[in-house]
Structure formats: C-alpha cells, structure tokens
A and B are shown apart, each in its own frame.
Chain A
C-alpha cells in the first residue's frame, strides 16, 4: 500500500515535467503579440507550423531513440540523401538521374525505403556489432551525406517528379498537408509511448536494458525497430522539406541535428535514456520555431541572430529546469 501511495504523486510530477515548456510558449506568444502585430495571426502561426513540420519529424525520431537510451546523429543526412537517391532513380539522365527511370509514383516509397535501410544498418552496427551509437552514427552522418554528394556530384536537383512535391506543398482542409502529417505522427507517438506495450518498453530499455531483458522484453528487436523507424521518419522529413523547397540542394538537412537535440532536450527528453515524452519534444520544436519566426519578423541583424537565438534556447532550458525541478542530464 505504501508503495502505491508514494508512486501517485511522482507520476503526476512526471506529467508536469513534459509540459514545463508550456509557460515558455505562452510567454513567447504574449511577448510576440506585443512585438509584432503579424505574429499572432492564424496565417503566421500556420507558417511556423509548416516551417517546423519537417524538423519536428526528426525530433520525434530522435526522441524515440534517446528515450530508448541510444543516439542517432545520422538522421540529418538522411533528410537530404534519401529523397535525392529516390528522385535520381526516377528522373531521366538529363535531369540528373541514374537513367533507370522507375515510375514517378514510386518516389516516396523508395525514399522511405532508403531511410529504413540506413536505420537498419545503423541498428545492425550498434545492436548486433555492439559499437558505440555516437561514433557509428557520426560516421554514418558523414557517409550518408557523402552518398548524396557523390551521385549528385554536389548539384541541386531541380527537376523533381510531382509526387514528391505533393506532401510538402499541398493543402488539406485549409492547412498544409505537412502539418497534418506531423500532427498525426506525433499523436501516434504520444499514444504509442503512453499506452502501448512496445512503446512502454522503450522506457524500460532506456532506463536499464539488462532489467528490461530480464523482464522478458526483446530488447534487440525493439531497438532495431526504433532505428528503422527513426530512419524512415527522417526520410519522410526529407519528403516534406523537398516539397516545401521545390528542389533538393546538396546541403538539405545539414546542421539540423543540433536543433533537433536542442528541441528534444529543452522538451525534457534525457540524453541518458529512459526519460522524457514525445509531447515534451513537440513543445521543444514549437519553442524553437516561434523564436526563429520572431527573430525574422523583428528583422534582427544577421550578425546578431545566432547570439539571440542561442541565448533564448539557454533560457528555455533554464526555465524547463526550474519548472521541472529535477536536475537535467
């Protein structure tokens, strides 16, 4: 009985921990409304959501991987490489393709497949081969980006099949499709981690993988699945980003991983595994998107933007630390 009564308040505290950034978001919305009249309009907020849709999928993927106690840096390279390879399999040589010219409708499935394969390879090296996740995915970050630069010879792919542009640029019920997609996937992530057995097992593995194994969880299989899912989500992020930009530049996705980690950590996801929620990670992405938007609206000088931007991330981190009460790791 004592154990039960003791666990109830701790559970509640854990719930609040996910939402520590909500006051930050409210503060940003209020401050933003005073700073610029455009900020709090439906149009502008929709834009912010659309601009963050692709990176939010990366944050979702990274949150799942971090919660299960692993690490994946290579996600950012998949964002550019997977769509680039998929497009090159489809478009003719004159548009920079391989000359295989598969049907245009296959481009999104191919892209997701490439992402999944990279995730599976990461998983193989980390789980079966027992290599350090940090260094494996660091190497993969470089290799995967190289696998985009090599075949494209660094060129931007301008002529894309319509099907890959659709998701990133279409409107569904008045909102950009990418917002719906990101929203649905986050909802699935939140529900999956809270109520489903596989989802709960990520926390168990991230907290203590030996204990999880002893408790009958198929640790390797679940972890491998998480890496494959992560790669696939990163490839989908690449599809959304490609649709938004209308071309695949050779540095698409490069440098995102820092923002992804910043969003996940200020959202309460622990770098040591076992702690954090998908909802928290979502609030982290929103904070970063709103800050970026506000800096653009106010026309903060390009020389000083990084300072202001980094400073606001630090402040958000401190607020989430104070509000969350626990030491961050």
Chain B
C-alpha cells in the first residue's frame, strides 16, 4: 500500500525534473527553490500576507514555487509539504495552525536536510530554522495597558477571545489576563470564548452588555472577525459614542487591517495592535533564502528592530507589532495603509 504514493511521487519527480531540466540551473540567484504553504484562505490578515509573498519574492530574488494552501487543515499541510519537497523545494515556509501535529513532518524535513521557516506560529516540537512571528503575548499586554490606563484602573472590560486551541489565541488571552491581574486588579475581566467567530462574538457581547450595562472596555483578539459585530452591538445599544463622551466604550483590537484604521479615524474604536503582514512575508522569505545560502543566525537584536530569541527547537525572530491609535493611524509605513 505504501508503494503507491512513492511510485507516484517518483513518477511526478521524473516528469518535473525532465520538464524543468533546462530551466533549473539558471533559475534564481539563491540556488534553490523555496516551497511555501499558506495556512488558510478565509481571513483578512492571511489574504494580505498572501498578496505580499509573490511581490516580496521578486524584490528579494527568491525562487518561489507556486504556493499551496492547506485551508486550516494540518493533514493537507502535511501532504502539501510532501508535494513541495517532491517537486524539489530546498526550503519550506509554512504557518502550521496546529502547532503540535506538525512535529513528524518537521522531523522528516530535518532528515532530508530541508530547512523550515514557520510564520505566525511556533511548533511545539521539531526543528525549525527560524520562527517568524510577532510576540502575541505582547499584544495582550499592550491591550491590557491601554485599556487599564484609559479606564483609570477600575471598571469592567470584555475580552473577545480567539480560539483557545490556537497558540495565538491562548497567548493573547493569558497575557491580557495576567497583566490585568498584576497591574489593574480593580478591573473585572469577562472572557468570551468566541472561537474567532463573528456570530458568537456578537451574541456574547450583547448578552454581557445586558448583564453589565456599565462595561467600559472591549479587547478584540482579531479585528477581521470581531470588528463589525462589536460595532453593530455597540450601535444597537447606543454606545457608539465619541471618545470624549463619558459613556464611550473603549475598544482595542488586534490585526491592523484597513477597516480598523478607518474605525479609529472615525473614533469608533480607540486602538489596534498592527500585526505586520508585510514583515511576516518579508522575513519568512528572507530567512528561507538565507537558509538555502547556508547563513546562520544567533540570538540577539537584529537590524530590523526585532530580537531573535532561542527556543528549544530553533530560533524565533520576534517582529515588532506597533500600537496604532488616533495619533499614528495615518503612518504610511503601517501595512494596513498600504493595501488596497
């Protein structure tokens, strides 16, 4: 039974190499193809990232293979990676949304000496050349500090959490909760497990506002899914008021998509943490190319305002994620201002 796929792969490989034999030696400056798998096609953040990838590949002169998409399914990711290596990828860029189940694939890739760069998530086990990711705990902490200061250390806030089965949802929720407990013990936090779903977010926020009409702050884990439902609920409750109104509800978001910036300009929400889609794409490709070229990196500060830290299974470059408020929302360097 095992022979079928192997034979198919071998046949495919033969065809691919045969077809590409004249092109391969001259292709790219890096001397190896980079295979890339995108994690999903249904989120605003990832769609922006996917748009940056081919653009930046041209700029960084990376020989990029046609991207695959694993649609949030680790099983598909595993088979996509097999297909990419079968087609001759010398480095793999992926964003495993399930950080546990990817371990064996990473092991296989390590045995084949194919370096792996993961974007956005840090695999629990298995060797990675570099993890490119913003510090998601910092998102939670920044949101906590912002709301804590705006509320003067007292009152009630609602946290619309992402899926707790994802490391990013957990990191944001834990950091927010810990920071609130340590720095603003006077603030009561209501945790709403929305599973990254707008429908659940709207219902939960509506219910909580009915129970506690004096809620003064909202922390949304993902602007892409939480923004419109939150605004719609606040509007229905007549709570969508300008920031200087005493009844204004302070809202801070994560992601940094253009619609959040628009809402900040209108005064409907107060801030967001911009998750750098452009830097994710840029440094994922940068490290993949560097790995093929045989470069190595050490823990410590980098030349692009970030820090590389040592993690048990490799290195992680923690990219900066700026807090965006009314003051800096028009900064042209923010990726949310560059997409159209």
Chain A interface residues (CB < 8 Å from chain B): 36, 38, 41, 43-44, 47, 50-51, 94, 149, 153-156, 158, 169, 241, 244-247, 249-252, 255, 292-293, 296-297, 299, 301-303, 305
Contacts and interface: CB of A to CB of B under 8 A. Distances in A.
Interface in B188-214: 190-193, 196-199, 202-204, 206-208, 210-211
Given A252-B198, A302-B193, A247 B228 contact: yes
Contacts of A154: 40-44, 46-47
B81 to A, nearest CB: 21
Q: What 3 A-B pairs come out closest when comparing CB atoms?
A: A302-B193, A247-B228, A246-B232
A245 B232 contact: yes
B259 interface: yes
7 contacts: A47-B206, A51-B203, A149-B42, A154-B42, A245-B202, A247-B229, A301-B193
A47 B47 contact: no
Contacts of A153: 41, 47
Given A47-B210, A149-B42, A244-B232, 9 more contacts: A47-B207, A51-B206, A149-B41, A154-B40, A169-B235, A244-B229, A250-B41, A299-B191, A302-B164
B22 interface: no
Interface in B179-193: 190-193
Given A246-B231, A302-B161, A251 B192 contact: no
B192 A156 contact: no
A155 B235 CA distance: 23
A43 B43 contact: no
Give the interface residue-count category, chain B: 35 or more
The dominant DSSP class at the A interface is loop
Nearest to B228: A247
A246 B193 CA distance: 20
B225 interface: yes
Given A44-B210, A155-B47, A302-B191, A250 B42 contact: yes
Contacts of A158: 227-228, 259
B228 A245 contact: yes
B164 A155 contact: no
Contacts of B202: 51, 244-245
Contact of B208 (A292, A296, A302): A296
Contacts of A255: 197
Nearest to B258: A158
